């Protein structure tokens, strides 16, 4: 699963209404922190949580906080305007 498919499911919208994969990648790279982007990529890629937490050198509470930040940013009006065609 890549960004278009993930965002389509997360936002409950049609994939065709989203920008192309490369543009989404660039938008998310600009709007998310490095750790948030790694967590998002891990979620999309189906990575296990524990190895991801260890590779980012964070604890589980920080992981949950970063996941919430990702959700909040994905639902922000500014980002929503950018990701749609």
Contact residues for 53 (Cβ-Cβ < 8 A; gap 6+): 59, 60, 63
Give me the tens of pLDDT residue by residue for the chain, a chain 85 residues long.
699 999 999 999 999 999 999 999 999 999 999 999 999 999 999 999 999 999 999 999 999 999 999 999 999 999 999 999 8
Alpha-carbon gap, residue 50 to 41, rounded angstroms: 15
Q: Which structural domains are found in the chain, ordered by start?
A: 3-83 (1.10.10)
Query: DSSP letter at 58?
Result: -
Q: How far is it, in rounded angstroms, from Cα 83 to Cα 66? A: 21
Look up the pTM and report it.
0.90
């Amino acid at each position: 699963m890549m960004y278009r498919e993930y965002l389509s499911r997360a936002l409950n919208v049609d994939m065709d209404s989203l920008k192309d994969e490369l543009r989404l990648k660039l938008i998310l790279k600009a709007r998310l922190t490095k750790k948030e982007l790694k967590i998002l990529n891990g979620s999309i890629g189906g990575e296990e949580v524990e190895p991801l937490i260890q590779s980012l050198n964070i604890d589980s509470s920080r992981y949950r906080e970063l996941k919430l930040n990702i959700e909040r940013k994905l639902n922000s009006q500014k980002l929503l305007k950018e990701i749609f065609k």
